[in-house]
Amino acid sequence: MAEIGIGIIGGGYMGKAHAVAYAAVGAVFETSLKPRLEMVAAGSLASAERYRDAFGFQRAAKDWQELVADPKVEAVVIASPQATHRAIAEAAFAAGKPVFCEKPLGASLDDGKAMVAAAEASGQINMIGFNYVRTPATQFVRKLLAEGAIGQVTWFRGEHTEDFFADPAMPATWRTQGRANGCMGDLAPHPVNCMLALMGPVAELSARIETVHATRPGANGPEAVTNDDHAQIMLRFQGGAMGHLYISRTATGRKMGYAYEIHGTKGSIRFDQEDQNVVWLYRAEGPEGTRGFTRILTGPAHPDYLAFCQGPGHGTGYQDQIIIEAKDFLTAIVSGRQVWPTFRDGLAVSQLIETAHQSSEDGRWHAVPKT
């Protein structure tokens, strides 16, 4: 079996998730290309050495530049802060290496455009990390919609709601500073990606983006919050359907509220990531008195489930989503064909978020430019 040396930049929350995924993916999916955890880079050599010991890498790099340049690193995974994405991706593509980058695609729309240009000029495999859309449940929903299971879609309601900043007494952190770290920069890319995957492109939108708690406790007293806490977006899809999206980090009681509801002329679909192994499907069939939503538990009949478990209803979890991403990245490398979502798909997300900011600033509906 052929091997490929994987270099991961970042060893924190997502860096660890990707290290675990690449250590497991070959066994879970029996991939034809076996990943080798070759090198890890972090904020310092000491941190990288710590991650090397903890996660099983062959070596630690003194910085990301050393990792990207190393000939034994044959594919690069970027799991570092947004502001570093562009420079790392451009260097990796220049070195002729495939790149997987965590969302979002850089810290700005300009970063995203430059990263897409570098990716497409290099001809290398490129993917962006939107893990939640890879659950067997949401992959199944995409299939249902493609098959026309609920008829013509007329309405979409989506949300990504969490409550980690619901309490105004929560201290200020790096997350409360800078637009890229706000709710629209941090949470919104996931539900926007999901919405585009399920519904297709957005024609126009109207958005309102707000800060709920203007200050938070700081080391020297109240500290101003310089980014957003929640946002709502009204939408008109190119296919004609209407929609609405709500994103919040102050939604008291919500922990992982990545949820959507879709109405069609022949049925409806509901999903909530807090119950990620269940899809609710309503079909407008049969006598009215016996109609109702059917609770569908994911199992081996659904996409990417069987590799993890042979039992229906046993369920998959968060880490399994990252393993599915790793499988898709390796598949793209082996086949030489891009696998959704590419950097260009990530750019479409960034463009919609930028358009939402423009709409919130001037209070008008805006057409969403094509990417």
pLDDT in tens, 358-369: 999 999 999 999
Say whether 136-316+348-362 and 2-129 share the same fold. Answer: no
pLDDT of residue 261: 98
Give CA 262 to chain center in angstroms. 20
R_g over Cα of the chain: 21
| pLDDT reading at 264 higher than 80 | yes
CB atoms within 10 A of CB 366: 17
* Cβ proximity of 343 and 41 under 8 Å: no
Burial class (CB in 10 A: 0-12, 13-18, 19+), 92: buried
Strand partners, 361: none
| pLDDT reading at 341 higher than 90 | yes
Distance CA 224, CA 227 (A): 9
Distance CA 264, CA 144 (A): 12
| pLDDT reading at 1 higher than 90 | no
Distance CA 276, CA 109 (A): 31
pLDDT of residue 145: 98
Burial class (CB in 10 A: 0-12, 13-18, 19+), 179: middle
| pLDDT reading at 19 higher than 70 | yes
Cα angle: 358, vertex 350, 174; to 5 degrees: 85
Q: Which CATH number fits domain 2-129: 3.30.70.360, 3.30.1490.20, 3.40.50.720, 3.40.1390.20?
A: 3.40.50.720
One-letter amino acid at 77 equals: V
Distance CA 366, CA 139 (A): 30
Average of per-residue pLDDT across 105-130 = 97
Q: Cα torsion at 42, 47, 48, 54 (round to 10°)?
A: -120
Model confidence band, residue 202 (pLDDT cutoffs 50, 70, 90) = very high
* Cβ proximity of 318 and 153 under 8 Å: no
Average of per-residue pLDDT across 100-121 = 97
| pLDDT reading at 252 higher than 80 | yes
Q: Which CATH number fits domain 136-316+348-362: 3.30.70.260, 3.10.129.10, 3.30.420.40, 3.30.360.10?
A: 3.30.360.10
Residue 354, CB-side half-sphere exposure with 13 Å CA sphere: 20
Average of per-residue pLDDT across 209-237 = 97
Beta strand pairing status for 221-224 and 126-129?
A: unpaired
* Cβ proximity of 12 and 20 under 8 Å: no
Sheet of 59-60, strand order: 59-60, 33-41, 2-9, 75-78, 99-102, 126-129
Distance CA 138, CA 194 (A): 9
CB atoms within 10 A of CB 335: 11
Question: For residue 341, what are its two tokens?
Answer: 């979502």
Rounded to the nearest integer, the mean pLDDT of the chain is 97
**DSSP H or E segment with residue 231:** strand 230-237
Average of per-residue pLDDT across 342-352 = 98
What contacts 93, CB < 8 A, 6 or more positions away? Answer: 99, 118, 119, 121, 122, 124, 126
pLDDT of residue 366: 98
CB atoms within 10 A of CB 361: 10
Crossing angle of helices 189-199/136-146, nearest 10°? Answer: 30
| pLDDT reading at 24 higher than 90 | yes
pLDDT of residue 339: 97
pTM score, whole prediction: 0.95
Distance CA 155, CA 199 (A): 9
Q: Where are the domains of the chain?
A: 2-129, 136-316+348-362
pLDDT in tens, 148-167: 999 999 999 999 999 999 99
What is the end-to-end Cα distance of the chain in Å, rounded? Answer: 38
pLDDT in tens, 282-315: 999 999 999 999 999 999 999 999 999 999 999 9
pLDDT of residue 151: 98
pLDDT in tens, 59-106: 999 999 999 999 999 999 999 999 999 999 999 999 999 999 999 999
Cα angle: 25, vertex 29, 35; to 5 degrees: 35
| pLDDT reading at 238 higher than 70 | yes
Beta strand pairing status for 153-161 and 242-248?
A: parallel
